[in-house]
Structure 1
């Protein structure tokens, strides 16, 4: 099951589980649509993998399958991608 991390690793923008603005790689690194497209060019700065839209977990499933509360914030990785 996907972690559904709560925020963008680049800008720390909130990405609730129902948001259609979340993008992830195969390792579940998580970014907002703006950072994924405009800063990272669709590639994860951590693994180089493709960033795709994160699926939305149905609200009825959230109680039994809650999203992660652990925030990952790594703006340095995004700065490196921007400089490339």
Structure 2
């Protein structure tokens, strides 16, 4: 089950569980749409996998299986100007 990370790993913008802006790879590296497209050309800088729109977990299921509250930020060369 996806942990639904709450932020972009590059620019640290908030990404709510229902965000249409969240992008993720098969390892759940998570980025906002802007960083995924403009900084990484939709390729995960961690694993080289494809960054796709993260699926939305229906609100009724967030009660039992909430999104992660742990923030993830990594130092990527493409994020250095932020």
Shift of 1:81: 7.7
The structure 1 segments of at least 4 consecutive aligned residues displaced by more than 3 Å after TM superposition are: none
Greater helix share, 1 or 2?
1
CA distance in 2, matches of 1:13, 1:80: 15
- Give the 3-state SS of the residue equivalent to 2:35 in structure 1: helix
Kept after mapping to 2: 8 A contact 1:8/1:72: yes
- Where structure 2 has 5 or more consecutive residues not aligned to the other structure, the ranges are none
Count matched residues: 80
In structure 2, the partner of 1:57 is 57
Kept after mapping to 2: 8 A contact 1:23/1:53: yes
TM-score with structure 1 setting the length: 0.90
What is the root-mean-square deviation of aligned Cα atoms in Å? 1.4
CA distance in 1, matches of 2:12, 2:79: 16
- Give the 3-state SS of the residue equivalent to 1:11 in structure 2: coil
In structure 2, the partner of 1:10 is 10
- Where structure 1 has 5 or more consecutive residues not aligned to the other structure, the ranges are none
TM-score with structure 2 setting the length: 0.92
